[in-house]
Structure 1
């Protein structure tokens, strides 16, 4: 038996579940399909090792979906400040003291109460599953993957692993960087694997919840601290945090193999003095990082959103924010197509979606690559250049705040100088 829907969303992570909720609220009959069951939330458990820095723009979107109160009912940590600096040890560093090149973004300078929230991915996903499940027009199909996809001029049919068939006017692939929907639709990708990997470490530290997140840039990659919530009555006076350590794959493999006591000693040696006093390591994991961009955002009745369409260097935690921007734009285009009485897969509307989102996603890719190339080497002129750049950012608060407002989702355009520098990076023309 075949079930008919207006839209089938494949992938119920943060972006997919947001799309399913939004389209259901807009009056479309939606199926949300995911091979995994709904994520659990245990308030007494240690935090999820995967976290994201949700921007003010993402917060606004999640509020419109009704998910933000659910997130706050679980846990989210606002941060008011973001600091960056260069940690490279080099003779030229003596020419420019770090105090002159450390750049801090402050919410107060932007007229905002906070820059964003650090939220566990599973918390955001669970909140969006709640909102999707509460929509009468959204059917949640969990524990099933897609086996086949067949398109005709009028419909697209998905066959699930259990043999169930779903028919729709439009299929949205939101099933991640290794998207099966993208492959079944025959959409290729341009991919650039970085030489680094990222290790994420869940820790407890002594003291109250901090209101600042920071990154120190090393030639092997940045090392970052993200504050999380209080550790609760079981660990009085302690808070949870997340550390991110970028380095060569073999170095991270060595670190992961160490006992907790030795890994703690390595962290204390490698991280700057700004790191709070750590008391416990709960978990660590590493993953490769790559820049990836789909050749097209849609093909026939299949359209991509989030990591299925693009992945970026996670230097500033912007991946999910870009995905939510995709979701808002695609939801608006599908709503307009329906209002106009057009086919939901009309290439005019899907083309408008790609025309809006591809340049915006490419700009953020270029910006993250600009940081990657500037900070991932020891060449003296480049070292001097980046310190001069950080010094200029410190001295020019207007430009600095323009970048911050863009990252927060307040402004839609990067400063011209940033776009010009990023456009000169190798491989950008392939995006």
Structure 2
């Protein structure tokens, strides 16, 4: 039998970040995942990448994780350009305006997982159980038993669900879930551009959904996230690579020159999810298990990491006070604070989606005037960029 104070189910970025953040806590941790955790990176850039803000970079540095990222594949961006297709509306942000060296970084998800795994695997208070499935969860008053498919048993005081959007732990807890189909499908691929990306993150809003070009470490490679209404996405996915590249060039309005598709195209439906309850005695959920949002602002991964850091902070304080850290009442302040941040982000993404969707002339005029006004007024612009950087 394995025994631990905390069992974290899900060893992705969020679960690993929680384990790493507990490195100095007087708490034992078991980390469980259904797949191998650390994996070698492919020669070509991984398809799943995320934009990480300056605030999370700072925490990852403090945790000794940032230093173990593959620096050759790390991509800082120094500018952000956002515009409305076929309109005068445009806004641009730069690190120079903020007095910083960069606005954020584009990181392959697996690269961050590998760096986190490297550090967590050296923590004496953590055991990892990769390629392990949970067959059954039995909750008691003071402990929870996890029956593994290997016939082993894990005993813990607090079970943490960091197991993603389709969280088995959330379903086991029967936490009520609000969800909405965005009616969009995200298409993800790596592309090569004739013109160097210049460390610029680009996003164009089209009538059928936003297209983001995220600069990678190679000056001519970008990762795209093209969120389109489902019908348009099906049509794009049916195109050959050359025709898909032409459609990209039209959408981006020739901003990066000729485009070539360098990878397979992956796609997935976009759904907003929000768990109306995150806690019960002996159980808590974080990250995508608690909330998923539209990727148009690239804040999903940042929100999940902040959940992990906030939960770790609460658990460490409670452990230091020898309080019953597994009881829901002790973690209620954490839940309130993080639910508030999640709700604000969900509302903001919905507002952006509604405002920038469609091609009605009046809507386009309002968008154009708003973007140009924000671009021209330093105070408004600085507020936007400060929030994007996580400060």
**TM-score, normalising length from structure 2?**
0.96
Secondary structure, counterpart of 2:40 in structure 1:
coil
1:351 is aligned, of 332, 342, 355, to 332
Whole-angstrom CA distance in 2 between matches of 1:255 and 1:82: 26
1:366 counterpart = 2:347: yes
Determine which of 374, 379, 390 is the counterpart of 2:360. Answer: 379
Q: What count of residue pairs does the alignment treat as equivalent? A: 391
Residue 209 of structure 1, CA deviation? 5.3
Contact in 1 for aligned 2:16/2:116 (Cα 8 Å): yes
Give the whole-Å Cα distance in 2 for the aligned partners of 1:105 and 1:331: 33
Q: What 5-or-longer segments of structure 1 have no aligned partner?
A: 231-237, 411-431
- CA apart distance, 1:280: 4.1
Cα separation, 1, equivalents of 2:66 and 2:251: 36
> How far 1:394 moved relative to its partner?
1.1
Residue 134 of structure 1: SS of its match in structure 2?
coil
The alpha carbon displacement at 1:161 in A equals 2.0
Q: Which residue of 1 aligns with 2:19?
A: 20
Distance 2:259 2:359 in 1: 30
1:255 aligns with: 236
Partner of 2:55: 57
2:254 equivalent to 1:268? no
Whole-Å Cα distance in 2 between the matches of residues 74 and 40 of structure 1?
Answer: 17
Pairing 1:384-423 to 2, within 5 Å after superposition: 384-410=365-391
Matched, 1:337 2:318: yes
Is structure 2 residue 34 aligned with structure 1 residue 35? yes
Counterpart for residue 194 of structure 2: 206
2:144 is equivalent to residue 146 of structure 1: no
2:117 matches 1:118? no
Distance 1:319 1:46 in 2: 24
Q: 1:379 and 1:279 mapped to 2: Cα distance?
A: 32
CA distance in 2, matches of 1:280, 1:290: 26
- Report the Cα distance in structure 1 between the residues aligned to 2:366 and 2:196, rounded to whole angstroms: 37
Alpha-carbon distance in 2 for matches of 1:84, 1:271: 11
CA contact (8 A) 2:12 2:37 kept: no
Q: Alpha carbons of 1:24 and 1:30: their partners in 2 closer, same or farther (altered >3 Å)?
A: farther
* Structure 1 residue 344: Cα displacement: 1.7
Aligned equivalents of 1:41 and 1:229: distance in 2? 18
Partner of 1:82: 80
CA shift, 1:74, in A, is: 5.2
Cα gap change, 1:113 to 1:369, in 2 (>3 Å): same
Q: Structure 1 stretch 379-388 or stretch 29-38: which is displaced more?
A: 379-388
Secondary structure in structure 2 of the residue aligned to 1:372? helix
Q: Larger deviation: 51-60 or 267-276?
A: 267-276
Equivalent residue number for residue 174 of structure 1? 162
Query: Are residues 276 and 14 of structure 1, via their aligned partners in 2, closer, same or farther at CA, if it must alter by over 3 Å?
Result: farther
Aligned to 1:229, the other structure's residue is in SS state coil
- Quote the Cα distance in structure 1 between the aligned partners of 2:65 and 2:248: 36
CA contact (8 A) 2:132 2:149 kept: yes
Partner of 1:414: none
Q: Does the CA-based 8 Å contact 2:146-2:153 persist in structure 1? A: yes
Residue 70, structure 1, aligned to residue 68, structure 2: yes
Cα distance, 1:72 vs structure 2? 4.1
Looking at structure 2, the residues matched to 265 and 355 of structure 1 have their Cα atoms a distance apart, in angstroms, of 47
| Alpha-carbon distance between aligned partners in 2 of 1:384 and 1:71, rounded to the nearest angstrom | 44
Q: TM-score, normalised by structure 1?
A: 0.87
CA displacement, residues 330-361 of structure 1 (integer Å, 9 cap, x when unaligned): 00100111011111213233101111111111
Deviation track 1:305-335 (CA, whole Å, cap 9, x = no partner) reads: 1000111111111001001111111001001
Aligned-CA RMSD value:
1.6
- Distance of 2:377 and 2:187 partners within structure 1: 33
- Counterparts of 1:409 and 1:267, CA distance in 2: 30
Mark the runs of 5 or more structure 2 residues left unpaired by the alignment.
none
SS of 2:249's partner is: helix
**Following TM superposition, by how much is the alpha carbon of 1:149 offset from its aligned partner in structure 2, in angstroms?**
1.4
SS of 1:377's equivalent in the other structure is coil
Asked if structure 1 preserves the Cα contact closer than 8 Å seen for 2:249 and 2:257, the reply is no
Q: Is the Cα contact below 8 Å between 1:21 and 1:65 reproduced in 2?
A: yes
Alignment correspondent of 1:218 = 206
CA distance in structure 2 between the aligned counterparts of 1:70 and 1:264, rounded to whole angstroms: 35
Conserved in 2, the CA contact under 8 Å of 1:148 and 1:184? no
